[in-house]
Structure formats: C-alpha cells, structure tokens
Amino acid sequence: MAQTSTRDRIVITAARLLQRQGYVGTGIKQIAREAQATLGSVYHFFPEGKEAVAVAAIKHGDQEFSALLRAALDSEESPSAAVNACARRLAEALRESGWVDGCPITAAALETLGSDSEIQRVCAAALRAWEQLVYDKLLRSGLDAEDAKDLASTIISTLEGAEVTAQVNRSEEPLRAAGRQLARLVGSYDKASNLRDRPSCT
Amino acid sequence: MAQTSTRDRIVITAARLLQRQGYVGTGIKQIAREAQATLGSVYHFFPEGKEAVAVAAIKHGDQEFSALLRAALDSEESPSAAVNACARRLAEALRESGWVDGCPITAAALETLGSDSEIQRVCAAALRAWEQLVYDKLLRSGLDAEDAKDLASTIISTLEGAEVTAQVNRSEEPLRAAGRQLARLVGSYDKASNLRDRPSCT
DNA sequence: CACACTCTAAAACGAACGTTCTAACTAGTA
DNA sequence: TACTAGTTAGAACGTTCGTTTTAGAGTGTG
C-alpha cells in the first residue's frame, strides 16, 4: 500500500469506506485521512468532488466483486455447485472482515435512490454485470435462455440479500443456506432435462 | 395525518425518511419539518435524541412490513403461491412509490454495521420476525422443520435482495423473477413428497 | 538558471449537523 | 385567579460537512 499511487490509495480506501458506511456516512476528509493523503490530493485527482470519488470507488468495488464471482463460478463445472461456491466464498470473506465488508454497492445504491446521480447508474451497471456473469455460466451449462435470465437475476438478488442478512446477524448461516437452496433451484433445471431423458420415468 | 398525534407523525415520517435515505442521510431537523412538528417536540418525545427516534421508526416499519407479509402469506394456501404473492405485492408497492419505498430497514442496517448501536439490534430482530412468519407458513404446509428453516431464511434474503435490485433497476422484473423462482423452489419440496407417493415413478 | 507541470499542504468559507437551552403556550384542577 | 404538567417555539452552541483558495514542494525539460 505504501508503494501504490496516491490516486489508487484514495480509490481503494474510498471503496472500503463506502462499502461499510455508505455514501453520506463517509466524509471526504475521512477518505483523505485513511488513505494517507491530503485533502488537496483528493481534490487534485477528483476536481468534481465527492461524487466523482464515489463513482471511481464503486467501479473499483464492482471489478473486485466481479473477480470473486468469476473465480467462484469457474471453480466448479456444474452450475449448481458453482452457485453454491459463490455463496461460500462470500460467507468466508464476510466472516474474515468481521462482518463489515459486504456487497460493495448496496449501501451507496440505497442512499442515492431518490436522486438521479451518476452513483445510481454505476451501481445499476455493476448489478447488471454480475448478473451477466451468472447468466453466461448458466448458458454454458446448457440452460434455456429464458430460464437462465430469470435464474441469474434471482441468484444475484439472493446473494445480495443473503449477504445483508448475514451481516446483520453476524453469521455465515444465511449465506450458506442461500447457497444450498440456490444449488437446489439450479439443479432442478438440470433434473428436469434429466427426467425428460431418463427412460424409466416417462 | 392531521388528526394523528405529534408523536405518531414523527415516528411515521422518520420511518419513511429512514427507509429512503438511511440513518446518517436523514437529519433530525428534516424529520421535524416533514412531520409538521418542531425540534422541541421531537426532543420532548425522544429525549435520548436521534438514535431513539430511529429505533422507534424502524420498529414501526418492521410492523408495517410484517403486516404486508402476513397478508400475502395468508392470501394463498399453497406455500409456493404464497411466497410468489409476497414478491408480487412488494413489487406493486415498490412501483407505486416510484421505486423509493423498499425494505424499511436495509439502508439503516447497513450504515450501522460497524457500531454496536441499538439500531443494529432492532434491525436484526425485524429480520428474524419476518423469517419466522415465513417459517410458520412453511411448517403449517407440512414441510420438514429443517427444510423450512433453510427455506425461510433464503426466502427473506431473496425478497430483500430482489427488492434492492428492483429499486436500482427501477423495474418490477427482479421481484417478479424472484417470486417465480422462489415458488419453484418451495414447490420442489412439495413435489419431492409427491414423487415419493406417486406410484408411476418409483 | 528558469520554466512548466504535477502533486501536496494547510487554512478558511458558508452551510448543515445533533444537541441544549430558555421561554411561551395550552389544557386541567383547585 | 393561580398553579401545574404537558407540549411547542425558536434561538444558540460547538462541530463537522463539502468545497475553495492560496501557497509551496518535487521533478524533468529548455
């Protein structure tokens, strides 16, 4: 962290703080302090002010989360096991952070719902990107396009919600339960085709 | 609203604002203004300050959400249809509010994760209560206790997450998709027993 | 050396924050 | 009328907010 550029330190620190305290709860002076930068540096790199810092930070969090999701999805071949792996990795990361580092965008997204700020748009884009990752995995596994669309949306929603529930309860269990149930749900689409092809049950 | 007591107006207004802007994003002066009360009144009824107002507001939102959930769960006999009804009613209410009135506690819960404030505890209690409502419905429908526990947790998580996704995307679709998938998931537990009892497939 | 450019430092601005305080108004009771 | 308790009104305190401003280092090029 000492050899990273000042700009990177600001973005990374802002991402962590936004994720934990939300947009309004995070001061630009706090970002500067914890990033070991000065207020002048922050406004030098982000002359448009706080919102620009937040947008960059959310994009950073988006990519980090995408990487985690991609790794988990690629770690298992079957889509149901892959989805379960996502939930398990999220649970692990959440516990290790002391239940504070959850979804990088939820808090900021909820606070800026009323306003039509740029923050809204990057959050929406992040959600869409994550859904696309899941969607692609499901398609590669041979699911119907329409089924995959509904499923991918639900999987992201469930992971999102289970993460919040896990944070509030300070427990991995909501995420683990969500992983199990999502695996069962995804598996039910496989089984449907299995049943169709199985000669003993038609 | 004109004939409700000042205290009630404060609580109801605070609940709406907390739900839309979160805890730090909602000022105590704004609460007083929009509740048509004065700052003196607010501190008269809540001498402990902002946090006490928030706790009362969140408890109010909890009960309102519980009522909606209970009504939806009771509107259908089969558990899968009931869960789907929950999602549909949430989608309806969300659209009617212009995508701003989502889950009454998520925003406040996320902001106060680090601190061990009373707000944390009421939010956790609310989540547990909602889960219990779903759990009871599933038990009444004849599911295993262990299955019902996992399922109820996942259902609440999914509704929670789908609501956020729907808000960010300004669309009912995430909630409707979640409702469909949750219905399928719950139905798969029914079908398991159906399959077991069906003579043509053993 | 001088110059331009990037980056950092620190002080200061008005506005809004949560909170406290005192004063006044409105019943109801004697 | 006088007294009390419950409620409202509004000014004021110190602090922090996001932002602006001005000045000063650091570095490579002419």
Predicted confidence band of residue A199 (pLDDT cuts 50, 70, 90): very low
Does B112 map to a domain?
yes
Does A129 map to a domain?
yes
The per-residue pLDDT for A191 is 59
Does B125 map to a domain?
yes
Q: Is A160 on the interface with B (CB under 8 A)?
A: yes
The per-residue pLDDT for A192 is 54
Does B32 map to a domain?
no
pLDDT tens sequence across B25-45: 999 999 999 999 999 999 999
List the 94-133 stretch of B: residues with Cβ below 8 A of A: 99-100, 102, 106-107, 109-111, 113-114, 120, 123-124, 127-128
How far is B167 from B99, CA to CA, in rounded Å?
A: 5
How far is B110 from B115, CA to CA, in rounded Å?
A: 10
Does A35 map to a domain?
no
Query: What mean pLDDT do residues B143-168 have?
Result: 97
Does B39 map to a domain?
no
Provide the percentage of residues in chain B whose pLDDT is more than 90. Answer: 89
Structural domains counted in chain B:
1
What's phi and psi for B172, nearest 5 deg?
A: -75, -15
pLDDT tens sequence across A165-196: 999 999 999 999 999 999 999 999 975 555 44
Does B133 map to a domain?
yes
What is the rounded average pLDDT for all residues in chain A? Answer: 92
Please compute, for residue A197, the number of CA atoms within 13 A of its CA located in the half-sphere on the CB side: 6
Query: CB under 7 Å from any atom of strand D: which residues?
Result: A 26-30, 39-40, 43, 47, 49-51; B 6, 37-41, 43-45
CA nearest to B175, candidates B187, B161, B185, B186:
B161
What Å value separates CA B106 and C1' D18? 26
Instruction: Say how many Å lie between the first and final Cα of chain A, rounded.
Output: 62
Number of helices and strands (H, E) in chain B?
9, 0
Q: Is B162 on the interface with A (CB under 8 A)?
A: yes
Range of the domain at A148: 50-201
Does B142 map to a domain?
yes
Tell me how close the Cα of B164 comes to any Cα of chain A, in angstroms: 7
Please compute, for residue A190, the number of CA atoms within 13 A of its CA located in the half-sphere on the CB side: 15
Query: What mean pLDDT do residues A113-141 have?
Result: 95
CATH code of the domain in which A72 resides: 1.10.357.10
More confident residue, B112 or A198: B112
